[in-house]
Structure formats: structure tokens, C-alpha cells
Amino acid sequence: MQISINEIELYMNCPRAYKLRYHDCIEAKKKNLSLCKSNAIQRVVQQIHGGILENVKAEDIELFCENIWQEEITNTDQEELDTIVIQEKPATSKKEATPAITKGQRALENLKTWAVHYAELEKEAQVIYSDVPFEDTIGDTTFTGTISQIRKHPQEGWQVIVFNSCSQLPGFAYLKRNFSISLYAHALWQGLLEVNGEKISIGEIPAVYLYYFPNLELYKKSNGKSQKGDLKGDPCIPVHRSKADLLQFEYEILYVASGIQLGFYPMNVSRPGGCELCHFSHGCHEVTIDNAVKNSLELVESK
């Protein structure tokens, strides 16, 4: 049996959504803004390391972001793009009027900020592979997927970088158990990477980092801990996996694979944002909308 990490993630979010997608063949709803942001920043990062944006000015990177953004938002929910997140402000005796800002405009501004600061901070990074497909056989199941970035560090050795552009940093427990992160580490240790049409083995457990793009934004005001203009945080968050973690993970992912194999599809909504963020809710008869999360729909990545 072969299962992709996207299938595993969807099954983990809600097994019924997996059934709707892969069993009932229901098409996903239009791309949401979170997915556009995630796709766009990954494409920009690829170009930065591919050399196209090397030694260019911030304005060029911003222009490049705008072009990529226009491509990514084709076929996106226009209503979501046009939703106003900051109301316009009328002029006062001291300040000029400021126009309203939509979700789409704010997302593009974030993208530009992330790209410019990423290019500055990561120009020395030794990126060995980008968007590299892998396969990893555990028990009788082969898991497949794509690792966004693999680096080699002079002291630490192999590093897997997992990009994240959610507006809220996932919690520690989530990161510690996240199946995608574990599978990427496992794939470098036990699986095969596909590079230029050849399958290669690394055979080592890598260091793993979540690269959290919103930490590349700057504080607009000083506060007790930070000064105006400081980065919001270190974007590189360690999420390493030990050998013991990965051996435990082998059992866990095989439980999930057997659930899929047996057609076990309960409605078990485990993702923050729940049914509201489900791409298959239009085919589900049991959608439950939680108004508390209605205004926080960018909490979770969809990729």
C-alpha cells in the first residue's frame, strides 16, 4: 500500500474528510488564503536559493512577490480576499486618512516582509535540496511526500527545514507529535530521496527545524521585552526527533494507515478551525460551525 503525507494529514484532520476526498471523489473547495500564502512564500524561497534573486534589492524581491501572488490567488475565494481586516480611518488634524486594508492586501504585505528578511537572514544557508520527493517504507506501507528544504550545516550536519506560515504558532505538543515532521526526519534516516531522477539514501537522523515565517515580521512599537523594529522572534524553531521518537512514530503512523485501509472514517474533527476550514464541508452532512473560530480562519495551514 502507498499513502502520501497529504492523505495522512487529511485523515488526521478528520477521517470523514478523507473519505469525501479519496473515496467519494469530492472536489476540494476553492483555495483559501492560507494556502496561497504558504505556496507563494515557498516559491519565493526557492527562487532566492536558486540564485534568481541573489544580490538583488529589496524592491526587486517585493516585485517578484507581487507577481507570484497574482498567480497564486487565481481561483481563490474572492470574498475572503476582499474581507476588510482594518477599517479605514478618517483624517484628523494631526494625521492623514488611512484606507481600509483587506485580508488579501495584508497577506501580500506579509509575504513581502517575510521574503525580504528571509533573503537577508538565510543567504549563507547551504541548501542542498529543495522540494525533494521521498518514499519511506514502514512495515508493509510506503509513505510518500515532498520535503521543502534540506540543508547541510557545518557543525550540525543534515537539517530538514519545514516551512510554516500560519498566523498562530502551533503549540509544542502539536509540533512534537506532528506526523509530517516525524515522517520527514524518518525519510532521511530510513527512506529514499528522489534527486534528478535517482533515488538516494542519506541514512542519518537529521536536525529538524520549523521555519516560522511570521517571526520575520518586525515589532511596530516597543514593549517590555522588545524594541520597535526588532524581529518578532527567531524563525528557526527546533523540532528534532530522536531515534526513540522515530521508532515510536513507526507504530503511530501504521495505526493511521490501518485505519485508512480498513475504511474507518469517523467524523473526528481534530484540527483548530474544524469544519469551517474543511475543504470538503460542501459534501458533508454534518458540518458544525464554531462561531468562536469564524474570525480566525488563517490559524492553520492547508498544505
**Which residues of this chain interact with ligand SF4, rule CB under 6 A?**
14, 16-17, 20, 267, 269, 274-275, 278, 280-281, 284, 286-287
Residue 254 or 267: the one with the smaller Cβ distance to ligand SF4 is: 267
Residue 191 or 272: the one with the smaller Cβ distance to ligand SF4 is: 272
Exposure string over 8-41, b if 16+ CB within 10 A, otherwise e: bbbbbbbbbbbbbbeeeebebeebbbbbbbbbbb
CA 182 and chain centroid, separation: 15
- Taking the complex as a whole, how short is the minimal distance between the CB of residue 121 and ligand SF4, in angstroms? 37
- Taking the complex as a whole, how short is the minimal distance between the CB of residue 293 and ligand SF4, in angstroms? 12
Please tell me the total number of residues recorded for the chain in this structure: 303
Residue 35 or 205: the one with the smaller Cβ distance to ligand SF4 is: 35
- Taking the complex as a whole, how short is the minimal distance between the CB of residue 23 and ligand SF4, in angstroms? 12
Could you give the 3-state DSSP secondary structure of residue 148?
strand
For 33, the grid coordinates are: 488564503
Residue 207 or 275: the one with the smaller Cβ distance to ligand SF4 is: 275
Q: Which amino acid is at 129?
A: Y
Residue 74 or 270: the one with the smaller Cβ distance to ligand SF4 is: 270
Of all helices (H) and strands (E), which one includes residue 216? none
- Taking the complex as a whole, how short is the minimal distance between the CB of residue 20 and ligand SF4, in angstroms? 6
Could you give the 3-state DSSP secondary structure of residue 169?
coil
Residues 6+ apart with CB under 8 A from 287: 275, 278, 281
Residue 95 or 285: the one with the smaller Cβ distance to ligand SF4 is: 285
- Taking the complex as a whole, how short is the minimal distance between the CB of residue 222 and ligand SF4, in angstroms? 42
Residues 6+ apart with CB under 8 A from 214: 110, 114, 165, 166, 167, 169, 232
- Taking the complex as a whole, how short is the minimal distance between the CB of residue 275 and ligand SF4, in angstroms? 3
